[in-house]
């Protein structure tokens, strides 16, 4: 057995998969759906992990590239009884220890650790209020979208407080930088300290899952708070027919599946479900740092999601994620010729704001 202390913790699980090889995880793995090679599905990744443990495979740039071509979307884990995401993160961690990691992931992690943000944000967004609202890096770069969210929250009686914040650093942990993720978490706790003991509203699905599951904070996605107030709202009906794309972290990982649909129905919108939705929704292509390492693959994944929407005869997707929306829009642009029309991708907050006018 080769010496991989982090991966070795999962030896039993890896062998369970290798003995079972049931493949429930594979068919709808969004990367497998594009690559059509077993290596890219969870079952293949588990075999690679065994290869490392047994010394049959050596760490290499090729193996690292395969492991980086995973969206960390959790579809396979939802189909499986194992800790697939932890195993993949451990493989990435072991490969990095052996000297193999994507330079782009290194740059991203360094930027977050040095600057406290994933994206450049010339002017941090702040707001005086009473209920802590953590925006996260993506929304910090989207002042117009934040204005819309704040407008909706004000209209439903919430007075959001946007204070000093740093990146939740999800991506640092997801790409295998475990020690750095611990330091990033300590810094987050220091800067967001005044709000750690109470409820925190969040708007980015990934930040919500990270704060809730990794930091053990009382983070609640703001759409849930809105859904709780639906009975008291005076909404102007919107005459639309749409499908809803569940962001992986919001739907599958946090179980916020019904609330966005309740809101859409309350807006008078007909919701048509795609074949893969809710817990078994598939990724938009923007997860796990894939956009950094293979943008073309990420776009192919997003094109498949657009095909899913077209297959149920709708030309509007609604979602609630600052990564899913632009990623799906990119896919929609590339699919317009093939489909003969453009599938639009709208943000649920925009629709809410319109209906609350």
Q: What is the DSSP string of 197-221?
A: TS-EEE--HHHHHIIIIIS---EEE
Q: Is 263 in the site for ligand SF4 (CB under 6 A)?
A: no
C-alpha 95/C-alpha 61 separation (Å) is 9
Q: How far is the CB of 22 from ligand SF4 (least distance, A)?
A: 4
Instruction: Mark residues 31-50: x for contact with ligand SF4 by CB under 6 A, - for none.
Output: x---------xxx-xx----
Among residues 51 and 129, whose Cβ is nearest to ligand SF4?
Answer: 51
Among residues 221 and 252, whose Cβ is nearest to ligand SF4?
Answer: 252
Q: Is 10 in the site for ligand SF4 (CB under 6 A)?
A: no
Q: What is the DSSP string of 324-336?
A: HHHHHHHHHHHHH
For 165-181, letters b (16+ CB in 10 Å) and e give bbbbbbbbbbbbbeebb
Q: Which two tokens stand for residue 153?
A: 């929250």
Q: Which two tokens stand for residue 287?
A: 């997860």
- The single residue among 34, 76, 133, 168 that binds ligand SF4, judged by CB under 6 A, is 76
Q: Is 80 in the site for ligand SF4 (CB under 6 A)?
A: yes
* Listed ranges 1-9, 79-87, 161-169, 200-208: which one lies at the site for ligand SF4 (CB under 6 A): 79-87
What part of residues 290-319 is at the interface with ligand SF4 (CB under 6 A)? none
Looking at 242-347, list the stretches that DSSP marks H as alpha helix, in order from N- to C-terminal side. Answer: 258-266, 290-293, 295-311, 324-339
Q: Are 245 and 319 in contact (CB under 8 A)?
A: yes
Q: Is 24 in the site for ligand SF4 (CB under 6 A)?
A: yes
Q: Which residues pair with 244 in a beta bridge?
A: 318
- Reference 331, options 307, 357, 355, 311; nearest CA is 307
Among residues 21 and 189, whose Cβ is nearest to ligand SF4?
Answer: 21
Q: What is the C-alpha end-to-end distance of the chain, expressed in Å? A: 64
* Listed ranges 54-62, 64-72, 268-276, 339-347: which one lies at the site for ligand SF4 (CB under 6 A): 64-72
Q: How far is the CB of 59 from ligand SF4 (least distance, A)?
A: 19
- The single residue among 63, 70, 222, 256 that binds ligand SF4, judged by CB under 6 A, is 70
Q: Is 253 in the site for ligand SF4 (CB under 6 A)?
A: no
Q: Which residues bind ligand SF4 (CB under 6 A)?
A: 17, 20-25, 29-31, 41-43, 45-46, 70-76, 79-80, 82, 84
């Amino acid at each position: 057995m080769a010496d991989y202390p982090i991966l070795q913790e999962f030896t039993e699980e890896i062998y369970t998969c290798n003995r079972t090889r049931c493949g429930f995880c594979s068919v709808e793995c969004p990367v497998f759906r594009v690559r059509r090679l077993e290596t890219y599905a969870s079952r293949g990744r588990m075999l690679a992990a065994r290869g490392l443990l047994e010394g049959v495979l050596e760490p290499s740039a090729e193996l690292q590239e395969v492991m980086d071509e995973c969206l960390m979307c959790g579809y396979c884990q939802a189909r499986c009884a194992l800790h697939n995401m932890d195993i993949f993160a451990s493989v990435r961690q072991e490969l990095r220890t052996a000297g193999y990691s994507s330079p782009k992931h290194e740059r991203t992690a360094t930027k977050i650790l040095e600057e406290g943000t994933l994206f450049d944000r010339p002017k941090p967004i702040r707001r005086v209020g009473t209920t802590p609202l953590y925006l996260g890096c993506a929304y910090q770069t989207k002042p117009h979208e934040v204005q819309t969210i704040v407008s909706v929250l004000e209209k439903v009686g919430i007075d959001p407080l946007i204070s000093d914040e740093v990146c939740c650093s999800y991506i640092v942990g997801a790409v295998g930088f475990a020690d750095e993720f611990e330091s990033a978490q300590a810094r987050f706790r220091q800067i967001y300290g005044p709000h750690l003991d109470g409820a925190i509203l969040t708007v980015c699905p990934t930040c919500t899952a990270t704060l809730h599951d990794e930091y053990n904070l009382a983070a609640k996605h703001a759409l849930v708070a809105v859904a709780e107030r639906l009975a008291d709202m005076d909404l102007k009906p919107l005459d639309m027919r749409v499908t809803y794309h569940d962001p992986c972290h919001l739907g599958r990982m946090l179980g916020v599946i019904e609330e966005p649909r309740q809101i859409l129905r309350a807006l008078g919108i007909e919701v048509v479900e795609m074949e893969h939705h809710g817990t078994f929704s598939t990724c938009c292509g923007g997860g796990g740092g894939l956009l950094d390492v293979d943008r073309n693959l990420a776009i192919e994944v997003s094109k498949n999601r657009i095909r899913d929407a077209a297959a149920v005869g709708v030309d509007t997707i609604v979602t609630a994620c600052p990564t899913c929306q632009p990623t799906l829009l990119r896919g929609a642009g590339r699919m317009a010729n093939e489909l003969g029309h453009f599938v639009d991708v709208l943000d649920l907050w925009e629709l809410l704001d319109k209906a609350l006018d």
